[in-house]
């Protein structure tokens, strides 16, 4: 699981570098999450 997490972190870093700090485009038909939705997701427990 640590290797998988490390790969995910590396992929996220590559995406950030590719887009130069800008928001990556969302797929067609996908709406960006609101701040409230993001906060609710952060508050969830597994």
Encode pLDDT of 1-46 as tens digits: 999 999 999 999 999 999 998 888 999 999 999 999 999 999 998 7
Per-residue burial over 31-45, b = 16 or more CB atoms within 10 Å of its CB, e = otherwise: eeeeeeeeeeeeeee
Return the pLDDT at 24: 87
Please give the structure tokens belonging to residue 32: 């960006």
Return the pLDDT at 46: 78
pTM listed for this prediction: 0.53
Return the pLDDT at 7: 96
């Amino acid at each position: 699981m640590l290797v998988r997490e490390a790969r995910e972190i590396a992929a996220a870093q590559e995406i950030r570098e590719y887009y130069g700090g800008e928001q990556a485009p969302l797929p067609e038909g996908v709406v960006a999450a609101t701040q409230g939705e993001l906060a609710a997701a952060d508050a969830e427990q597994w």
